[in-house]
Structure 1
Amino acid sequence: MYSPTGAVLIFLLTLFGSGWSYLEHDSWITIQLHHSLATASAEFSYRGNITIPSLNSGLSNVAQVPLTPGELELMKELANKNEFYRLKATVVYSNGSKQKFLTSNKACRLLQAHLNDVLWISLDPSGFVTSVTASQDAAPGIVECSPENTRHLDDVDFNTDVLIRHAELAPVPDTASFIQKVEREREARERGEVRDNRGFLAKYWMYIVPVVLLVFISGATNQEAGK
Structure 2
Amino acid sequence: MIKFIAVFGLLVSCSETQDIRPVFALFHSFELEGSEPIWMARAKVTVDALTHNPSNRTASKAMISIESNQLTPEERRKVDNLALSGKRYQLKAVDTSTGHHVIAYTYHADPLQQTLKLSLDPSGFLEGVTFLPAGREQVIVDIMQLAPQPETATYIQRMDHERREREKTQGQDNRNFFAKYWMYIVPLVIFLLISGAGNPEGQ
TM tier, smaller: 0.5 to 0.7
Amino acid at match of 1:102: I
What corresponds to 1:100 in structure 2?
101
What corresponds to 1:70 in structure 2?
74
User: 1:9-62 deviations in whole A, cap 9, x for unaligned?
Assistant: xxxxxxxxxx92288413111111111121444211111111111344343112
RMSD: 3.1
Using the TM superposition, name which of 99-108 and 126-135 deviates more.
Answer: 126-135
What corresponds to 2:165 in structure 1?
none
Structure number with the higher helix fraction is 1
Whole-angstrom distance in 1 between the partners of 2:31 and 2:131: 18
The answer (yes or no) to whether the contact 1:33–1:47 under 8 Å persists in 2 is yes
Gaps of 5+ in 1: 1-18, 139-158, 181-227
C-alpha change, 1:41 and 1:171, in structure 2 (3 Å) is closer
Amino acid at match of 2:71: L
Q: Secondary structure at the match of 2:45?
A: strand
Q: Secondary structure at the match of 2:109?
A: helix
Aligned residues: 135
The reply on whether 1:37 has 2:55 as its aligned counterpart is no
Q: Secondary structure at the match of 1:72?
A: helix
The answer (yes or no) to whether the contact 2:22–2:124 under 8 Å persists in 1 is no
Q: Secondary structure at the match of 1:98?
A: coil
The reply on whether 1:118 has 2:118 as its aligned counterpart is no
Q: Runs of at least 4 residues of structure 1 off by over 6 A?
A: 177-180
Give the TM-score normalised by structure 2. 0.55
C-alpha change, 1:49 and 1:37, in structure 2 (3 Å) is same
User: 1:88-115 deviations in whole A, cap 9, x for unaligned?
Assistant: 111123xxx22111111115142xxxx3
Alignment of 1:178-193 (within 5 A): none
What corresponds to 1:21 in structure 2?
14
Whole-angstrom distance in 2 between the partners of 1:37 and 1:104: 10
What corresponds to 2:146 in structure 1?
169
C-alpha change, 1:178 and 1:86, in structure 2 (3 Å) is closer
Q: Secondary structure at the match of 1:20?
A: coil
Displacement, 1:168? 2.6
Between 1 and 2, higher relative CO (CA 8 Å, sep ≥ 6) is seen in 2
C-alpha change, 1:62 and 1:126, in structure 2 (3 Å) is closer
C-alpha change, 1:59 and 1:38, in structure 2 (3 Å) is same
Whole-angstrom distance in 1 between the partners of 2:123 and 2:22: 14
Gaps of 5+ in 2: 1-11, 51-58, 158-203
Alignment of 1:78-93 (within 5 A): 78-93=82-97
What corresponds to 2:45 in structure 1?
50
Amino acid at match of 1:172: Q
The answer (yes or no) to whether the contact 1:103–1:134 under 8 Å persists in 2 is yes
Alignment of 1:148-227 (within 5 A): 161-176=138-153
The answer (yes or no) to whether the contact 1:83–1:106 under 8 Å persists in 2 is yes
Whole-angstrom distance in 2 between the partners of 1:122 and 1:23: 22
Give the TM-score normalised by structure 1. 0.50
